[in-house]
Amino acid sequence: MEEKIPNNLEVGERIRKIREGLKMNREIFSEMIDISDVFLGQIERGERSLSLKTLCRIVYFTGVSTDFILFGNNDTNSTLQKINRILSQSSQANLEYFYEIINCSHVFFKTHKKDL
């Protein structure tokens, strides 16, 4: 079995693309994951490794899997990741509201046999 070791440069590039996909600059993204923007820049350029704690914060904040960040394996749906990120940061009241919207939409599309 071949051992896969994360490559700092590739990991950093994936983190940068995730951040840019969220339309966030380094300063805001680093604040959200509780590291300095300088350290985030070093991670993104592959100059420094991220700690397990930082990796967990990125995963929690973005909803992107550790498997994707570390190895580039993307077996999950990016739309679901975006939705999960929003939901993970929402209040219980908002979660119930979102559920009602999704459920009503689901029933509507199922009834009208539309698949957008």
Question: What pLDDT was estimated at residue 65?
Answer: 86
Asked if pLDDT for residue 116 goes beyond 90, the answer is no
Q: Which fold has domain 1-75?
A: 434 Repressor (Amino-terminal Domain) (1.10.260)
2 band by pLDDT with thresholds 50, 70 and 90: low
Nearest to 15 by CA among 41, 51, 47: 41
* CATH 1.10.260.40 domain span(s) along the chain: 1-75
Nearest to 6 by CA among 76, 69, 75, 78: 69
Question: What pLDDT was estimated at residue 107?
Answer: 87
Exposure on the CB side of residue 78, measured as CA atoms within 13 A: 9
Q: What are the pLDDT digits (tens) for 3-46?
A: 688 999 999 999 999 999 889 999 999 999 999 999 999 999 99
Q: Give CA–CA dist 28/17, Å, rounded.
A: 15
Residue 13, judged by CB atoms within 10 A of its CB (0-12, 13-18, 19+), counts as: middle
Q: Give CA–CA dist 99/21, Å, rounded.
A: 25
pLDDT top residue among 104 and 82? 104
